[in-house]
Amino acid sequence: MTDLPPGVLPYDPMAKEVIDDPFAEYRRRQSGCPIGHSETLGMPFWALFGYDDVRSAMLDPKAFSSRYGPTPVFQKSIGFFADGKEHTHFRAIFRKRLSPEGIAALQPRVAELARRLLDDMIAKGPVVDLHDDFALPLPVHVISWLLGIQGDDFVTLKHWSDELMENAFGKSNERFLKVYAGICAFFDQHLDARYDMLTAAGIEEALPEHVGSVLPDDWISDAVCADYLGRKLNRDEQRMALMGLLVGGNETTTSLITNLMWRLLEEPSRWEQVRSDPDRFIPVAIEESLRFDSPAQAMFRTTLCPVEVAGVEIGPKQKLMLNFAAANRDPAAFDDPDSFRLDRDARDLSRRHLAFGGGPHGCPGAPLSRMEVAVVMQLFVKHLPAATLAGPSERSVGYNMWGRSSLPINLGC
């Protein structure tokens, strides 16, 4: 065990009491020393729990870098996990589909899919599992569209995505590498097919203008044709980009849907309030859910130089867990933080909560997730006004994801 500075206590995110109720543990940390140290996930790391400390680290990439990956394991600096212009230019390749115009163009298709899933769920009812029957398939379908993957492969993609998230944060590096290899092979097939299309068209060099003309208009084609710092993406960069978009594009939205409905239905007066004025209360409910039940509990950074955090000196090349969920329940940042309230200001919440991270590495898919859940909530308010909980929920596996892997509800129709 590493000798720790005075006042710094060991932290085990896999301890049963933390898994059962992470927020009670976060509050204990914040009331004492808001920094801990862990050696329980195979790699030693520090953990930050205070809002100001977490936010400051996110906004200072020169000291707290993403270049060694967002997990406790040191990873290769590539793509979304680079810093500076490498990261900015890489991110720009895939950001256009997540622009306000891109999301507005996608919204009718999302609404159509959501209504179809809702109709299927109503036909199956009256008691359904909101996770399995709705919250899981919707965002995976949407991210599959954007990637350019057709058919029923979304089921496999969801399984792989969940396994990556479960094992990437220290549970099983061996299992992570096995799943990673499977996803690489899957995306390689799709990438190779795009190069075959170019060859069949007599094109030797892929150019951005080939997207939507010679090639389908999607992220896989972007990964083939985009210019990146005067060159094309190599295969590792293509794989990492597509994997990052897959994982980031579904799990958060699935958890946001289940967490939000869980909190609204567990206190029926909340659901009644949202139904009474959906245009006013749906935006608040979404942002309050992101704050109160942050789907991603934390992400990691690596120190590039000696830093001082919460009065503790930390050397270079140290992993730090930035605990978004703890920061979003910090009483120094939010009034009455352990209460789910619909009288908060949605815009203020969206500016200040850290559920999507922040700084240069803030989640690029945040607007897409918000749009999807807003569409869903309008449908639920209209078609499921009498919905109630139909049994206890189950938490998502893995210490780092906070969502409902099962949420039985009675549709009331």
The residues, any chain, with a CB within 8 Å of residue 246's CB and separated by 6 or more, are 143, 147, 157, 160, 161, 183
The residues, any chain, with a CB within 8 Å of residue 78's CB and separated by 6 or more, are 236, 237, 240
CA pair distance 65, 54, nearest whole angstrom: 13
**Cis peptide upstream of residue 126 (ω within 30 degrees of 0):** yes
| HSE toward the beta carbon, residue 22, CA cutoff 13 A | 28
3-state DSSP of 150-195: CCCHHHHHHHHHHHHHHHHCCCCHHHHHHHHHHHHHHHHHHHHHHH
The residues, any chain, with a CB within 8 Å of residue 300's CB and separated by 6 or more, are 45, 69, 70, 71, 72, 319, 320, 321, 322
CA pair distance 258, 404, nearest whole angstrom: 6
The closest of 387, 105, 164 to 272, measured between CA atoms, is 387
Alpha-helical runs (H) found in 226-328: 235-248, 251-266, 268-276, 278-292, 324-327
Greatest alpha-carbon span in the chain: 67
The answer to whether 225 is annotated as binding is no
Angle (CA) 249-251-253 rounded to 5° is: 75
Which residue's structure tokens are 């859910």? 289
Which residue's structure tokens are 């209460």? 339
CA pair distance 307, 310, nearest whole angstrom: 10
Measured over the CA atoms of residue 130, residue 131, residue 132 and residue 138, the dihedral's sign is: positive
The one-letter code for the residue type at 207 is L
The residues, any chain, with a CB within 8 Å of residue 12's CB and separated by 6 or more, are 18, 38, 40
CA pair distance 137, 150, nearest whole angstrom: 14
151, 168 contact by CB (below 8 A) = no
Residues of each annotated binding site: 363
Residues of each annotated binding site for heme: 363
